[in-house]
Chain A
Amino acid sequence: EPEVTQTPSHQVTQMGQEVILRCVPISNHLYFYWYRQILGQKVEFLVSFYNNEISEKSEIFDDQFSVERPDGSNFTLKIRSTKLEDSAMYFCASIEGGGAPNEQFFGPGTRLTVL
Chain B
Amino acid sequence: KNQVEQSPQSLIILEGKNCTLQCNYTVSPFSNLRWYKQDTGRGPVSLTIMTFSENTKSNGRYTATLDADTKQSSLHITASQLSDSASYICVVSGNSGNTPLVFGKGTRLSVIA
Q: Interface of A with B (CB < 8 Å)? A: 4, 31, 33, 41-45, 48, 55-56, 58, 89, 91, 93, 95, 98-109, 111
Contacts and interface: CB of A to CB of B under 8 A. Distances in A.
A40 to B, nearest CB: 9
B91 to A, nearest CB: 8
26 contacts: A42-B106, A43-B44, A43-B89, A43-B91, A44-B103, A45-B99, A89-B41, A98-B96, A99-B97, A100-B93, A100-B96, A101-B34, A101-B49, A101-B93, A101-B98, A103-B46, A103-B49, A104-B46, A104-B101, A105-B46, A106-B43, A106-B45, A109-B41, A109-B42, A109-B43, A111-B41
A89 B101 CA distance: 17
Contact of A98 (B44, B46, B98, B103): B98
B46 A100 contact: no
A48 to B, nearest CB: 5
Given A107-B43, A109-B41, A111-B41, 15 more contacts: A42-B103, A42-B105, A43-B44, A45-B103, A55-B99, A98-B98, A100-B32, A101-B49, A101-B51, A101-B93, A102-B97, A102-B98, A104-B46, A104-B101, A109-B43
Nearest to B100: A45
Contacts of B42: 108-109
Given A91-B43, A106-B44, A107-B43, A100 B101 contact: no
Interface string B88-113: 01010100111111111110000000
B31 interface: yes
Contact of A108 (B31, B43, B100): B43
Q: In the complex, which of the residues A33, A48, A104, A108 has the most CB atoms of chain B within 10 Å of its own CB atom?
A: A104
